[in-house]
Structure 1
């Protein structure tokens, strides 16, 4: 491994392209696509970020010379684009409840929570991509001897009434807390290291793991270091502002952030809970609308006509339900239930009210749909947890 840093060797850097623009796409017919990139182009309708990841994997050739393979790809990032299954969904570029100009989430908690929900589903897809990387390294006989680092440049905030990317005491842990997965050459057993670490520590860690010297670098190697040094974390914004907190202060904020996240979506229950625990009334999820008393409130609901021919296992599935609820007297319910084929699959509030219309955006699981035609309904929720009725707008 020290040979990686020697002069005069046949060392190389294989760097895949990075494009944040999800409006462009590649196809399997594009020249220069290897087998993995072609497969991802076909399965994702040419989604640029996925194809870039495929190019990254195709660039690994198992050559004996030491090679640095590097990729910076906008995943997870807006647009959310993917479910955990790798399926895409229409209107995945919509982020209701967030003002694009100011970056603020609305005060209503359910759309910031939905942003977190959609981010978790996208992370599930990224987990699949990382698995593909491990499979590729193993197939080339490179996995055992390869140093792997997976990390992110920043986090994101999903707190109601706060900016998505601005640092405050309430958002610091969400923005500063990023994953750092390091697999050393020859390592076969995983562990969790709770010692203080920062992203600037990754470069000296890579250098030392490959047999080099770490003198003169800003960070410190994670190998054999004092777990309590340094006793602070230093955060630098794009604008150059610097925030410094002690590790104890950061730990308190991080623990609160994790507790809040787990209160929304408990850990260890699989991705089903990411669908079933979301929204203001998760107790209604999975129940038939026939179980409830219904109230006719008049008005109407406008829903796109795109559910007449659904393939729940296809590469694109219409899980994002958008609807406009029209009520003449503007007496809108606080919450709404979204039913697919007579079963409630999501509950949500409105993210915008204009004139006589309340706009909603809900995520339902792909298994809500049957092959072929499906019936999607949006109903209001009335009453209490112990006595709930549904409101029909017709």
Structure 2
């Protein structure tokens, strides 16, 4: 009997240990990832029933499944000399090791350019095997695992404590709202757009590159010292719409921002509202057009579990792991379940809320918004947040596209980090990306001209309140982050364009006072005669008093800056000095061999050997959804991948020749695993400038430097 009791205790201890490993390797990563996806939980109407099923699966069913599987494996192992009896603990511990190491593996993958996805799983399994072997021998390890078993209870309880079901709605603050002087309001918020981009050498709006922004500046007040309060869209946009400084872990949902601008405007019942809101969810239910699809509890549970099943491998493995993972459903990223153009939403509707898919078919979003700028019985309140000139950079100033947004990589060329936010320490590659960004700012400039034309045609321009701004800036400095600020990049990321045309204003002005994005909501409310709520921390732009400092929030950190930071930190070198041709041609600073441009390939020694290259397909997978003035992609970008082992050096120069003449020279950049990428431009910035692709003979060459001189190696596309 004593032996049976001892064996039972050992078996129970092993079962608890397996449940502990399951909690750390599966339950904790899944619940942590889900807790961050508040937009997904909101859009999918997840309630307690679905959460209960998920927790039941993660806390009871899955762990017990592993325990039973362990019993089976141990029983079978007795038939082969007890080999493999610890297979299940080793697998679970491998998962724990991978989930704990993943942040460091991502760093090694992107910054050290190591193929961690290939060798880390077997290394993690080896480490798990060694740990289990020591576990059998060392009581201290067994005690440590026992203490860690609190995670079995803590992880699900923590998630349940912080979870708010979709059906819970907080008290609104829009009752009794009155607009004393309603008038047309147009609020346009661009994305990842530094106000410093618009400056020329005289610190004015560059009329050569951005003539429509200059036109806007001529009839509005340009707040040249305007700044954002966060580098994250899901924080910065709600700050604009609430007039409140960011709070840690606040979701971009209407219930989290009672009394926001949309709620007050709708509550006044004095406006016809149009809201394009791709990222946040602050618009009130009364104006929403994209009603959530009515799903049964079983369907919602199934969708939740299938989605998390697709997400989970990404929580423990890096992107270069040589395994094909299942596709993550679109709603996980806050995208419509069905792509734009296939979901049946009317493009002729001009009122209500429209939920487009962020960076998808942005040209269509702009066209749709322009159709909404029409007179109405009630003054129109028209809001547009569009993910422009944010990456991917695919548009030319003419409105033409040279790369499909859906075919673009998920991070810029020559960028590192899981989100592609850190630039390589390579000035040429970074300058090439900045040029593409500036081309897209040119496209935004074109849209501003269309907005002004549309308002003039409909006799709304003089009478409306027009505000044009952005959620946050962006930086292009080698070796620094594109989005996360440091002492050098803070002015670029903090700066946002801000143009405010008041009703009746016809004369432009420049204001360098300390203005922050939280000041826009009280300015709008004051202009239309709505009482500003006490919760608003911003100051109307009409008031002379300003904040004594600039505040910038990222995660739990807050940076305090001098109020005149952006005025004092003007660019030290005029843009015209580095880019005299504006946006017409790639600046020489973005090329590796500018002296070769215009020379014929036959003037260089060309090696007899060739190297295989995979040219990327830049075309739109759904050409029927292209914008009206972009029926065909302009052949401007030539992009491809070369195996790392085929390169003469770690980083190799590559040249593009068209009809035998060198037109561009750049540099390869590590992309993933054993692949290096290159991106080169053909001449011309408009469709009419580009040569007919059928008459273009494109040649690509790698440049090999040696003691005997320079030679070119031809790149040939794989069959």
Name 1:220's counterpart in structure 2: 539
In structure 2, do the counterparts of structure 1 residues 63 and 28 end up closer, same or farther at CA, with 3 Å as the change threshold?
Answer: farther
TM-score, normalised to structure 1, is: 0.78
Separation of aligned partners in 2, 1:325 and 1:82: 26
Name 1:56's counterpart in structure 2: 369
In structure 2, do the counterparts of structure 1 residues 302 and 248 end up closer, same or farther at CA, with 3 Å as the change threshold?
Answer: same
Name 1:391's counterpart in structure 2: 712
Separation of aligned partners in 2, 1:305 and 1:233: 44
Conserved 8 A contact 2:340-2:361 = yes
Separation of aligned partners in 2, 1:279 and 1:25: 37
Name 2:181's counterpart in structure 1: 3
Name 2:415's counterpart in structure 1: 98
Match of 1:243 among 554, 559, 568: 559
Conserved 8 A contact 1:303-1:324 = yes
1:65 aligns with 2:378: yes
Cα drift, residue 66 of structure 1 = 2.1
Match of 1:294 among 586, 590, 605: 605
Separation of aligned partners in 1, 2:349 and 2:593: 45
User: C-alpha offsets along residues 176-212 of structure 1, whole Å, 9 cap, x if unaligned?
Assistant: 1111111111122223322221111222222333355
Conserved 8 A contact 2:512-2:567 = no
Separation of aligned partners in 1, 2:673 and 2:464: 60
Separation of aligned partners in 2, 1:91 and 1:16: 22
Higher helix content, 1 or 2 = 2
Match of 2:699 among 372, 377, 391: 377
Matching of residues 231-310 of structure 1 within 5 Å? 231-237=548-554, 239-252=555-568, 254-256=569-571, 259=573, 264-266=578-580, 269-274=581-586, 278-285=590-597, 287-290=598-601, 292-296=603-607, 298-302=609-613, 304=615
Conserved 8 A contact 1:86-1:315 = no
Kindly indicate whether structure 1 or structure 2 has the higher relative contact order, using CA contacts under 8 Å at least 6 residues apart: 2
Greater Cα shift, 58-67 or 298-307: 298-307
Conserved 8 A contact 1:104-1:161 = yes
Separation of aligned partners in 2, 1:27 and 1:320: 26
Match of 1:123 among 441, 444, 459: 441
Greater Cα shift, 348-357 or 182-191: 348-357
Structure 2: segments with no counterpart, 5+ residues: 1-178, 184-264, 280-333, 351-358, 619-629
In structure 2, do the counterparts of structure 1 residues 206 and 78 end up closer, same or farther at CA, with 3 Å as the change threshold?
Answer: same
Cα drift, residue 393 of structure 1 = 3.1
In structure 2, do the counterparts of structure 1 residues 220 and 377 end up closer, same or farther at CA, with 3 Å as the change threshold?
Answer: same
Name 2:272's counterpart in structure 1: 12
| Equivalent position SS for 1:302 | strand
Separation of aligned partners in 2, 1:52 and 1:306: 24
Name 2:431's counterpart in structure 1: 113
Cα drift, residue 278 of structure 1 = 2.8
Conserved 8 A contact 1:146-1:184 = yes
TM-score, normalised to structure 2, is: 0.45
Separation of aligned partners in 1, 2:590 and 2:538: 39
In structure 2, do the counterparts of structure 1 residues 361 and 213 end up closer, same or farther at CA, with 3 Å as the change threshold?
Answer: same
1:133 aligns with 2:451: yes
In structure 2, do the counterparts of structure 1 residues 343 and 231 end up closer, same or farther at CA, with 3 Å as the change threshold?
Answer: farther
Conserved 8 A contact 1:301-1:378 = no
In structure 2, do the counterparts of structure 1 residues 240 and 306 end up closer, same or farther at CA, with 3 Å as the change threshold?
Answer: closer
| Equivalent position SS for 2:510 | coil
Cα drift, residue 153 of structure 1 = 0.9
Name 2:526's counterpart in structure 1: 208
| Equivalent position SS for 2:438 | helix
| Equivalent position SS for 2:398 | coil
